[in-house]
Amino acid sequence: MRKKISLPNDLIIINAVSLALAAIIFAGSFGGGAIGSATLRIILGLPFVLFFPGYALIAALFPRRGDLDGIERTALSFGLSIAVVPLIGLGLNYTPMGIRLIPILVALLVFIAGMTVIALYRRQKLPAQERYFPVFEFDLPAWAKMSRIDRVLSAVLALAILFAVGSIVYVVTTPKTGERFTEFYILGTGGKAEGYPRELAVGEKGEVIVGVVNHEYAPVKYYVAVVMGGHPRQRIGPVELAHEEKWEQRVEFAAAQPHENLKVEFLLYREGDTEPYRSLHLWVNVRDGAGSGKAGRGTEKR
């Protein structure tokens, strides 16, 4: 049994798919993403980046049916997409928008729509029988006329194809778990890794910014302890962070007595830890009547 499938609205379809992808991405950006949107973004995003730009460009350049055969169009669509997308990204790099998700998405949508308009205009100028659109022809086996062995083999082949497709979808959509760790840092009051308090007077408050970033692939509760000269001074928390979530807070400390090279420690604990998970420290000179300086440096000890 011979089947024939024609797609005269091929360019309309790829634009509709592109707009659907844009709607899913915008919905996720504003917190309205539905369950499974990440999977849809991958399924629709791969052809959007790797195939649609080149296909629309080829359709604009070669609108006639006999200009290229199907295999050539498919190969050139992938190849030109791989060439066009980086060029668009390079152009965005020199604009205030930069190479970010939304600007790239909008730029590709505009490119695909622009090439679609040109392609449709050029197709309309050709006779109807010469206009290119995809046509798929294939033979369906007559199930009733097949032998029992052929039926079994056909069923096994169909199951194998379904299994292969399912495996590919699972591999693509399942998030890869990388190294689990927590980023722990201290910054000066300017928000940079400099300008730490190095010289303080007795009773004068030193200030730093303490930051934690969760890369543990799971929500974690953290506590931060400030220890001066081996004596606990304050405890901050609990601070509950989701994966990839960041927390920063200004922390002040002061010494009541003069001290040379006083070790000020910042210890990070996870809920249930009895020993510090991460530790940072500063060396501070505390003097009678001395002013505060900005020439220190924070170090991390793991």
172 Cα distance to chain centroid: 14
**Residue 109, in any domain of the structure:** yes
Whether residues 207 and 273 share a domain: the answer is: yes
Rounded CA separation 53/294 (Å)? 53
3-state SS assignment for residue 124: helix
Within 118-219, strands assigned E span: 135-139, 181-187, 199-201, 206-215
Per-residue confidence (pLDDT) for residue 301, from 0 to 100: 39
Whether residues 135 and 195 share a domain: the answer is: no
What's 191's domain CATH number? 2.60.40.10
Cβ neighbours around 13 below 10 Å, total? 12
Mean pLDDT of the chain, nearest integer: 85
Whether residues 9 and 111 share a domain: the answer is: yes
pTM over 0.75: no
Q: Buried b / exposed e across 201-214, counting CB within 10 Å, b at 16+?
A: beebebebbbbbbb
pLDDT tens for 230-251 read 999 999 989 999 988 999 999 9
Residue in the structure block whose two tokens are 């400390």: 253
* Sequence letter at residue 256: A
Tokens found for residue 110: 């505009």
Containing structural domain, residue 66: 2-140
Identify the domain boundary among 85, 110, 140.
140
Domain tally, the chain: 2
Per-residue confidence (pLDDT) for residue 228, from 0 to 100: 93
**Residue 189, in any domain of the structure:** yes
Identify the domain boundary among 140, 173, 196.
140
Identify the domain boundary among 122, 140, 158.
140
Whether residues 10 and 95 share a domain: the answer is: yes
**Residue 19, in any domain of the structure:** yes
CA angle 198, 204, 205 (to 5 degrees): 75
Low-confidence ranges of the chain (pLDDT < 50): 32-35, 290-302
Whether residues 126 and 29 share a domain: the answer is: yes
Compute φ and ψ for 227, nearest 5 degrees. Answer: -125, 130
Per-residue confidence (pLDDT) for residue 140, from 0 to 100: 63
**Residue 145, in any domain of the structure:** no
- Cβ-proximal residues to 51 (8 Å cutoff; 6+ apart), any chain: 77, 78, 81
3-state SS assignment for residue 14: helix
**Residue 157, in any domain of the structure:** no
Whether residues 130 and 188 share a domain: the answer is: no
**Residue 269, in any domain of the structure:** yes
**Residue 252, in any domain of the structure:** yes
Whether residues 15 and 126 share a domain: the answer is: yes
Query: Exposed (0-12), middle (13-18) or buried (19+): which is 81, by Cβ within 10 Å?
Result: buried
Whether residues 113 and 53 share a domain: the answer is: yes
pLDDT tens for 75-116 read 999 999 999 999 998 998 888 888 888 899 999 999 999 999
- Cβ-proximal residues to 190 (8 Å cutoff; 6+ apart), any chain: none
**Residue 161, in any domain of the structure:** no
Per-residue confidence (pLDDT) for residue 146, from 0 to 100: 72
pLDDT tens for 136-158 read 776 666 666 777 887 788 788 88
